[in-house]
Chains A and B, each alone.
Chain A
Amino acid sequence: MYEWSEHAVVVDEGIRREVRFISTATGLLYVSLYVAMDSLTSALRLVVCPAWHADGDYGFEVAHHLCAGVAKSGGAAAMFHWPGHGESDGDPRTLTIDQFVNAGEAVVDEVLATYGPGTLAIAGVQVGAVPAVGIARSRHAERLLLIEPDLDVEAHYLAIERTARRTSLGKERPRNWAASRFIPQRLREAPVPIHPLLVDKPSGTKRSAVVRYEQGSPIEQGSPIDYPNVEDLTVSGSRRRRSPDHHLALREVALDWLINVETANA
């Protein structure tokens, strides 16, 4: 019979990719790792918290593409599946924000242990921005990048539930259930305190940014980012979920910020 573990690593277009499970308090956590093929020419170490799994076609792709982009630029990056979702163990019905943050911390430790210390950056996509803030604080990340952040967890899942009600066309729908999966209800009960987004030193993040579409963003349209010292990277002329081109533009702006911030400080 085959030795399946031999196939956990692949080299493609100058990137070494690896997938593995790591042990955490909630069970096995699925992690996807990206690193430059030849050598680590950049100190950047990125961990991405993806969007909720039901938004996978958007939030997961952003996470993977950011990781691939960082690896192409000479750094190392990882993204993971939320506990209780996708390939990771756990129960989505009982997932708490602390468990989510702990999972992200475990991924940070895995990345640093695998590729060595460096400039730690944490990114969060949509509602994944909330645990990203918690991980950046606890692991003293130097960079924090929030992509289309839904920092109000309650509002995020209320919007998903509204959509589920519309699409079910009046049919009976289980409680705490949308998009054919359980909503992680307990995330709504004790969210990470977001204010202030940036904590004073010594645990403070040195640079942070929010990347968002110009229209349709969860942050009120046209409003300035309401956090001191957070860079606002609005993608001019873009609309949320309207076009793959807009999606691509958002990704590229996010990647550009991550890589250029690193280059400027190298």
Chain B
Amino acid sequence: MLEHLAVDVSSNGAVTEHPVLMNTSAGVFGATITSPDGPPRAALAILVGLNEERSGANSIWRVMAQTFAQLGVVVLRYDSAGVCDSHLALEGDEGDAATLEVVRWFAQATNDVPLLLLGYCKGVKFAVTLAVEDPAPYAVALVSPPKKLFAPLPITGLKKIRASVSALLKKSPPSDVPIDIDEAAGFLDGTPTRSPTWILLGTDDRAVAEVQDLVRSGRHGTRLSGEVIEGVEVHWFTTPAIQQEVMTRVVAWVERVLVTISKGTS
């Protein structure tokens, strides 16, 4: 596994990187599509973290995309709104909406193969949002998800009542209810139900207890699984060893998903 992560695939002709620019409602976004040598077996969108560029720390997402492409997967990575080639794109809510436009464009362009979503940090929010849209992604991976995805920040009084009523009526919560409730509800009630979901984090990540409790609860059966790397915080990928370990495990997830695709199961 480690050997093929170290391969300089950009020079061996096995994969091709296509830099692209996209007009969105919030301005121009920069991205790279990494495509395999032949017809792709799947499409994967890497949903990067807050204010992160498409290559990631130490080019971790670029190396992963090259590795996925070697496995036959076409991959999208983008610069966050306000960053690098997306520097002129509006940030905030407009930037978030535009990010979803970019991923939907990619999903539409590759709609002849199964779609996989890989969200990291803030990118998990986008993954959860997209996972409940049609068509459902074939599989979802969440790397170092924010704690609030599992344990929404406490709300009190009238807001709590309004959120409960909204949940009962299966309506969106009122706009003044914290977004955390929306994200948590979206994840717990939607994502693993529609798409097999795999979560990766370290024992020092903030959400580890919540992830472990949720997986053990069996709420989503085998459709939700998690892996915890001992003794580290995955968030920020603070050492080369953590980066390598994360790459190894995420590539293994993609390989497992590709096996199910080839078998025609999910």
Contact = CB atoms under 8 A, between A and B. Distances in A.
Interface of A: 1-2, 4-5, 7-10, 12-13, 17-21, 27-28, 30, 32, 56-57, 60-61, 64-65, 68, 81, 85-87, 89, 92, 168, 173-174, 177, 179-182
15 contacts: A2-B110, A7-B22, A10-B28, A12-B28, A19-B19, A19-B30, A19-B85, A32-B30, A56-B53, A57-B51, A64-B84, A85-B55, A86-B84, A174-B239, A181-B57
A173 B242 CA distance: 12
B237 interface: yes
A56 B58 contact: no
A13 B21 CA distance: 14
Interface string B227-258: 00000000011111101000000000000000
Contacts of A27: 8, 10-11
A89 B53 contact: no
Contacts of B241: 174
B109 interface: yes
A13 B90 CA distance: 14
Contacts of B33: 2, 4
A65 B74 CA distance: 31
A87 B18 contact: no
Contact of A87 (B22, B39, B54, B239): B54
The interface size bin for chain B is 35 or more
B17 A180 contact: no
A8 B57 contact: no
B35 interface: yes
A19 B31 CA distance: 10
A4 B35 CA distance: 9
Contacts of A92: 58
Nearest to A173: B239
B179 interface: no
A43 to B, nearest CB: 25
B155 interface: no
Interface in B79-109: 82-85, 87-88, 109
Interface string B55-93: 101110010000000000010000000111101100000
A213 B20 CA distance: 34
A60 B243 CA distance: 24
B87 A65 contact: yes
Given A1-B40, A7-B20, A19-B20, A182 B87 contact: no
Given A2-B110, A182-B58, 16 more contacts: A2-B33, A4-B35, A7-B18, A8-B20, A12-B88, A19-B30, A28-B17, A32-B85, A56-B83, A68-B88, A81-B55, A86-B84, A87-B55, A168-B238, A174-B239, A174-B241
